[in-house]
Amino acid sequence: MADVVNFTVDGRQLQAAPGTLLINAAKQAGIEIPAFCYYDGLSLQAACRMCLVEVEKTPKLQVACTLPVAEGMVVHTDSAQVRQARKGTLEFLLTNHPLDCPVCDKGGECELQDMVFRYGAGESRFRETKIHVDEKQWSPIVFYDAPRCILCYRCVRICGEGLGVNALGIGNRGAASEIVPNRGDHPECDECGACIDICPVGALTSGTYRYKTRPWEMEHVATACTHCSNGCKTTLGVRNGQIIRANNRDRSGLNGEFLCVKGRYAFDFNEHPDRLTTPLARNANGELRPVSWGQALALVAKRFSELRAKNGRFAVIGSNHTSNEENYLLQKFTRQVLGSSNLDHHRTGDVAGLIDALQGRVEALAATADLYRAKAVLVIHSDLAQEQPLLAFQLRANWRHHQAHVYAVNPGPVREDNYATTARAEVGKEFEALQSLREKLAAEPELVILFGAAIKGQAVRALVEFGDSLGIRVKYVCLVDYSNSRGASDMGVLPDLLPGYRSARDAGLAPGLNYDQILNATDLDAVWVVGANPLARQRLAATNAFVVAQDLFLTETARRADVVLPAASAYEKNGTVTNVCGDVQKLSRGPKTMGAKSDFEIIALLAKEMREDLGARSPEAIFQEIRKSVRGYDVPFAVIETGGAAHTVPVNGRVEFESQPELIRPAGNTLFTSGTLGRYSKMLNSVLEAPGALYSDPGKEPIVRESEGSVLVETVTKPK
Ligand code: SF4
Ligand code: SF4
Ligand code: SF4
Ligand code: FES
């Protein structure tokens, strides 16, 4: 077969690979053929007839979304006949469609509205009464208005093919056809909202956004999701300093259009009434009371300076959510200003162990894109669809589009079992399961291995040895939780490793106390907790320590603090974060919470107050310092700056560190939980599928969840 096919579209000589669909071949040449049911990456439907084109020497108009280009084909996409056909298609689609664009939630960004404007089918020859069906609320998130539906089946396909959930199907016949959910009156599903965003019209709308604003009234801010480690790029719709919606409809970034329920809807924690907006300090009666920023910073700087002068013992717990620049600055402050190495964060995966085991092989760390490209992928001890939603989506797309071979080793059933070669194995028995897969794995041309927190310490080394023994090219991903767990590790928020996994000893610094040792030490004079809540699960043994907490909420840790500093969320700051696969992306400031400051600003102000110069003029300046000084982070600046993702490989030969597998604890988050942030997301807790959801059944009375701290005592509107 020839390598290329030659054909003509609208008088232009074009070439494309054999098998390319005409709609895509034209698009590559900048010629748009309108389409409703065709959607890149989903199966072909040919349901709407909007893409009809004229092909010379064929008697009837042809459907461009299913027609592969052929040698010598001559196509007209904008002839009078084609335009008339499109107008007719639109007139037909509008038979029952209410012509109420001014009040429809999709107005201004509706594909049908755009087409009607273009082809002028605003007037109909149908005089019959339109069939009316009442709008239905399927869940707190998903609303369906059948008369607006043009039956393109994009929603059905994204849910079934894309996510593997299959919550939507078609009910009734003919003009009464409509989309129906799998549980009759509601979908039992991931509540991801992909069906809503993919809907070309206003048939599916979201409970978080509908009727709040118009697209042109918002500022659209491209940033990264703050919930899990997968780092989906998201565009926040911000109006009057408030996030109104989040999506990635331009399909840019490492996730294309994918966002899970947390990324698309759980941004409401940002404006929870319990957000801290003023610093608090403990008064003479031991009560936390509001103080000014000036007072709070002066108080902390004074105590830190006094304790430093007395050679006091400091300890710092950093965050899995703060930016790379903030993590970098925090470790610099801790080591240079406080003179301490007692620094750690909640480790959710053995990243240092993997980098050590790879012994300098830079090509052995997989990027997010590898999940979609690799010929074979092995997942060990992770319920990927629950814990790593984007990676699960990419893997499934790789299987659908490229027939990738997927292997899953898990103690119990996971969604990947539906298409993977599965081996069951309890934690600790995974190597027996791997041996049973050895022959198949060794026959693959290449493999990406994803492993969860159960593989740590010596087991990571054993896994890399197993990979080496297969005799094929193997790449690895150490699965971590939370939005910048990887960045905290890469930036040296660790007691024995500096940024880029350089040994602290090499820099003349003795290793300090680790996370558990910090919490269990009785002789600490000051403990500074930045964006973490260790006291949710553990106790602080240093009962007399001066405790400073930076957070969004009055968490268990903040309640114990002597000074509480209100911090900005990741949606409210500039900087960068590194996702689970080591891909760095930019954070851009969207909304603002009056009274809160970014952790970067707080750390920089504290340094200034203590008359120290950390060179922390801006996150941008620190990012340049990181690019210069942190191994693997010399990433192309233009890629980051323009909203792309750049892969980092902070591989450093052997890593000199003390392997402490007991410190590696998974966050245990699912699709519907997200640590402290999830606790404060009313939307996330309102869906039926959430653990302890506010309703047990949409038809029953709301169940009020037991309060965690001061949140979630409220109920939310019940679905009808
Ligand atoms: S919200 Fe997501 S999982 Fe639920 S029906 Fe829509 S696409 Fe399917
Ligand atoms: S609800 Fe939207 S996406 Fe689904 S079939 Fe109808 S128009 Fe298409
Ligand atoms: S997969 Fe993770 S990063 Fe992506 S939207 Fe969901 S929570 Fe956010
Ligand atoms: S886009 Fe071709 S038939 Fe719908």
Whole-angstrom CA distances from 600 to 58, 203, 576 are: 65, 43, 12
Give distance in angstroms: CA of 145 to centre of ligand 2: 10
pLDDT of residue 367: 98
* Average pLDDT score over residue span 174-198: 95
Nearest CA to ligand 1 atom 2: 192
Distance CA 134, CA 155 (A): 19
Per-residue pLDDT at 705 exceeds 70: no
Distance CA 235, CA 513 (A): 40
Candidates 70, 69, 63, 68; CA nearest to 85 is: 63
DSSP string, 18-62: TT-BHHHHHHHTT-----SS--TTS-----S-TTEEEETT-SS-E
Residues 6+ apart with CB under 8 A from 100: none
> Which mutation among 63, 92, 201 tests ligand 4's pocket best, with the greatest number of atoms within 8 A of CB?
63
Ligand nearest to the CA of 39: 4
pLDDT of residue 688: 87
Question: What are the structure tokens assigned to 101, written together?
Answer: 């664009």
Q: Phi/psi zone of residue 241: left (φ > 0), alpha (ψ -120 to 50 degrees), beta?
A: left
Contact 400/161 with Cβ under 8 angstroms? yes
Per-residue pLDDT at 658 exceeds 60: yes
pLDDT (tens digit per residue) in 40-52: 999 999 999 999 9
Distance CA 275, CA 682 (A): 13
Q: Which residues pair with 547 in a beta bridge?
A: 527
Q: Determine the atom of ligand 1 nearest the C-alpha atom of 141.
A: 1
Percent of the chain with pLDDT over 90: 89
Ligand nearest to the CA of 136: 2
Whole-angstrom CA distances from 53 to 10, 50, 57 are: 10, 9, 12
Q: Which residues form the pocket of ligand 3, taking CB atoms under 6 Å from any ligand atom?
A: 225, 227-228, 230-232, 259-260, 262-263, 389-390
Per-residue pLDDT at 696 exceeds 90: no
Ligand nearest to the CA of 415: 1
pLDDT band per the 50, 70, 90 thresholds, residue 559: very high
Q: Determine the atom of ligand 1 nearest the C-alpha atom of 138.
A: 5
Per-residue pLDDT at 452 exceeds 80: yes
pLDDT of residue 690: 82
Per-residue pLDDT at 702 exceeds 50: no
Per-residue pLDDT at 704 exceeds 70: no
pLDDT of residue 584: 98
Candidates 350, 337, 572; CA nearest to 456 is: 350
pLDDT of residue 592: 93
Candidates 584, 588, 593; CA nearest to 575 is: 588
DSSP string, 121-171: --S-S--SPPP----EE-SSSEEE-GGG-----HHHHIIIIITS---EEEE
* Average pLDDT score over residue span 133-148: 96
pLDDT (tens digit per residue) in 350-393: 999 999 999 999 999 999 999 999 999 999 999 999 999 999 99
* Average pLDDT score over residue span 52-56: 98
Angle at 510 between CA 311 and CA 321, to 5 degrees: 90
Tell me which residue has tokens 């040994």: 503
Q: Determine the atom of ligand 4 nearest the C-alpha atom of 48.
A: 4
Ligand nearest to the CA of 46: 4
Give distance in angstroms: CA of 92 to centre of ligand 4: 14
pLDDT (tens digit per residue) in 500-543: 999 999 889 999 999 999 999 999 999 999 999 999 999 999 99
Tell me, using a 6 A CB cutoff, whether residue 36 lines ligand 4: yes
Question: What are the structure tokens assigned to 94, written together?
Answer: 């509008």
The packing angle between helices 458-469 and 430-442, to 10°, is: 20
Residues 6+ apart with CB under 8 A from 712: 679, 682, 685, 705, 706
Contact 498/288 with Cβ under 8 angstroms? no
Nearest CA to ligand 2 atom 4: 155
**Phi and psi angles of residue 157, each rounded to the nearest 5 degrees, phi first:** -75, -40
* Average pLDDT score over residue span 580-603: 97
* Helical spans, DSSP H, in 610-648: 619-629, 637-641
Q: Which residues form the pocket of ligand 2, taking CB atoms under 6 Å from any ligand atom?
A: 149-155, 179, 198-201, 203-204
pLDDT band per the 50, 70, 90 thresholds, residue 122: low
Give distance in angstroms: CA of 586 to centre of ligand 3: 15
Give distance in angstroms: CA of 197 to centre of ligand 2: 10
3-state secondary structure 318-329: CCCCCCHHHHHH
**Phi and psi angles of residue 688, each rounded to the nearest 5 degrees, phi first:** -55, -35
pLDDT (tens digit per residue) in 335-353: 999 999 999 999 999 999 9
Give distance in angstroms: CA of 417 to centre of ligand 3: 21
Distance CA 570, CA 223 (A): 9
Distance CA 197, CA 200 (A): 8
**What's the whole-model pTM score?**
0.94
* Average pLDDT score over residue span 662-669: 95
Distance CA 720, CA 713 (A): 21
Q: Which residues form the pocket of ligand 1, taking CB atoms under 6 Å from any ligand atom?
A: 142, 158-159, 163, 165, 167-168, 187, 189-195
Residues 6+ apart with CB under 8 A from 450: 377, 378, 379, 380, 382, 384, 388, 391, 476, 477, 479
* Average pLDDT score over residue span 480-493: 98
CA 494 to centroid of chain Cα atoms: 25
Ligand nearest to the CA of 49: 4
Tell me, using a 6 A CB cutoff, whether residue 61 lines ligand 4: no
Report the half-sphere exposure of 142 (CA within 13 A, side-chain side): 29
Ligand nearest to the CA of 181: 1
Give distance in angstroms: CA of 345 to centre of ligand 2: 45
Candidates 266, 139, 249; CA nearest to 194 is: 249
pLDDT (tens digit per residue) in 240-277: 999 999 999 999 999 999 999 999 999 999 999 999 99
Give distance in angstroms: CA of 36 to centre of ligand 4: 6
Tell me, using a 6 A CB cutoff, whether residue 48 lines ligand 4: yes
Give distance in angstroms: CA of 348 to centre of ligand 1: 29
Strand 446-451 and strand 421-424: the pairing is: unpaired
pLDDT (tens digit per residue) in 276-323: 999 999 999 999 999 999 999 999 999 999 999 999 999 999 999 999
CA 590 to centroid of chain Cα atoms: 16
Distance CA 632, CA 489 (A): 13
**Phi and psi angles of residue 30, each rounded to the nearest 5 degrees, phi first:** 80, 15
Per-residue pLDDT at 718 exceeds 60: no
Distance CA 52, CA 64 (A): 6
Contact 38/44 with Cβ under 8 angstroms? yes
Q: Determine the atom of ligand 3 nearest the C-alpha atom of 674.
A: 7
Question: What are the structure tokens assigned to 507, written together?
Answer: 């820099």
Q: Determine the atom of ligand 2 nearest the C-alpha atom of 36.
A: 8
What is the residue-averaged pLDDT of the chain?
93
Q: Determine the atom of ligand 1 nearest the C-alpha atom of 166.
A: 8
Report the half-sphere exposure of 27 (CA within 13 A, side-chain side): 14
Give distance in angstroms: CA of 254 to centre of ligand 1: 21
Q: Determine the atom of ligand 3 nearest the C-alpha atom of 228.
A: 2
Report the half-sphere exposure of 66 (CA within 13 A, side-chain side): 14
Contact 679/707 with Cβ under 8 angstroms? no
Give distance in angstroms: CA of 673 to centre of ligand 4: 38
pLDDT of residue 693: 57
Per-residue pLDDT at 121 exceeds 90: no
Report the half-sphere exposure of 1 (CA within 13 A, side-chain side): 9
Whole-angstrom CA distances from 16 to 8, 23, 51, 77, 374 are: 11, 11, 19, 17, 25
Q: Determine the atom of ligand 2 nearest the C-alpha atom of 168.
A: 4
pLDDT band per the 50, 70, 90 thresholds, residue 692: low
Contact 415/384 with Cβ under 8 angstroms? yes
